[in-house]
Homo-oligomer: A and B are copies of this chain.
Amino acid sequence: MKKTCCQHQFVTPCTKKVPIFHSLSEEEMQKIADMAKHESFQKGSPVVQEGDSSQTLFIVNKGRVKVSKTTVDGKEQILHLLTCGEFFGELNLFNGSPSQSISVYALESTEICLLRKQDIDQVMEENPNIAFKLLETVTNRLAHTENLVQNLATKDPEVRLVHMILEFSEKFGTETEKGIEIDLTLSREEIANYIGVTRETISRKLSKFEDLNFITAIGNKQLIVKDIDLLEEYVI
């Protein structure tokens, strides 16, 4: 049996984890999984470097990555955090005028499946509804980015931070008896680079939110949201 990118590699092809392929049959999924190249990245290492414009779809099979841009004044702006089943590289693939200045870094030990443009094209030709799925996903990504714009446009950094915590609660949070537990995987500086403030401001505001009894920080990589309604009320 061929090696696939999966953790349980002899049971499930990686494509099973990816929502855009969910409409396909077992054989088709296996076929695509066989076309894919698989790479591992350790925490902190670059998956895509600024300036790279390879015609490839990158699918996160395990782990977590950050997608970011660098501003003219040299700051990192994080655009997206992607986990298992999500993809990136769509700008270079589907955009009329590609060559984006985007970087992608592994936030933890990560496995990526790579599909070349020619393979994607073939898959889409044989299964037209993949195009619909892609359209849905990219539209979703657009909605997320527009929300990020809205958040960055909000002048008050506290509001921005609250919004981020609410977003993370939904995306990465798990209910516990103490509240919603969030695995950050981001450093304070990276949090800052996501909501457009400085590291120091994040420190101060998180302390403030602890004093206000909104959250509890466990170490530097975990947050517990004690009362999410309280947080929501705080930003009115």
Instruction: Give the residues in chain B near A79, CB-CB below 8 Å.
Output: 146, 149
Please state if A94 and B145 are interface contacts (CB–CB under 8 Å): no
Which of A9-17, A58-66, A69-77, A104-112 contacts its partner? Answer: A69-77
Copies of this protein chain in the complex: 2
CB-defined contacts of A148 to chain B, threshold 8 Å: 149
Q: Report chain B residues within 8 Å CB of A218.
A: none
Enumerate chain B residues within 8 angstroms of A152, measured Cβ to Cβ: 149, 152-153, 196
Interface centre among A90, A128, A132, A150 (most CB of B within 10 A): A150
| A147 and chain B: residue at smallest CB distance | B69
Residue of B nearest to A139 (CB): B94
Cβ contacts A120-148/B at 8 Å (1 or 0 each):
00001000100110111011111101101
Is the interface on chain A under 10, 10 to 19, 20 to 34, or 35 or more residues?
Answer: 35 or more
Interface string of A69-107 (1 = CB under 8 A from B): 101110101010000000000110111110010100000
Q: Which of B69, B128, B136, B196 contacts A96 (CB 8 A)?
A: B136
Say yes or no: A138 contacts B135, CB within 8 Å: yes
Nearest B residue to A100, CB-CB = B143
Residue of B nearest to A76 (CB): B153
B145 touches A146 (CB 8 A): yes
- Bound form: Cα–Cα A221–B2 in Å: 63
**A-B residue pairs in contact (CB < 8 Å), sample of 17:** A71-B150, A71-B154, A71-B155, A72-B156, A75-B154, A91-B139, A91-B142, A94-B136, A95-B139, A100-B146, A131-B131, A131-B135, A138-B139, A142-B142, A145-B149, A149-B149, A153-B196
